[in-house]
């Protein structure tokens, strides 16, 4: 459960820091695309983490 919380915090921090990085794309459309890709990656990370953690919680 602690590792799941770590993933959530890490993804949140990455998502909040991403737009402020100096090497981001110059135009708005590309920036939105980058944020969409990051959002999809974070959702997949949470889904995989939940798939690993929830069965363990139910079995214990």
- pLDDT at 7 (0 to 100): 86
11-15, 17-21, 47-51: which range is least confident on average?
Answer: 17-21
pTM: 0.48
Distance, CA of 1 to CA of 41 (rounded, Å)? 20
- pLDDT at 47 (0 to 100): 92
Give me the percent of the chain exceeding a pLDDT of 90: 10
Condensed to tens digits (0 to 9), the pLDDT of residues 45-55 reads 999 988 988 88
Condensed to tens digits (0 to 9), the pLDDT of residues 20-46 reads 666 656 677 766 777 788 889 989 999
Distance, CA of 1 to CA of 60 (rounded, Å)? 13
């Amino acid at each position: 459960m602690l590792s799941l919380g770590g993933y959530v915090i890490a993804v949140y921090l990455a998502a909040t820091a991403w737009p402020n990085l100096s090497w981001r794309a110059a135009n708005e459309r590309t920036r939105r695309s980058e944020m969409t890709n990051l959002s999809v990656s974070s959702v997949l990370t949470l889904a995989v983490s939940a798939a690993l953690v929830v069965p363990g919680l139910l079995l214990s």
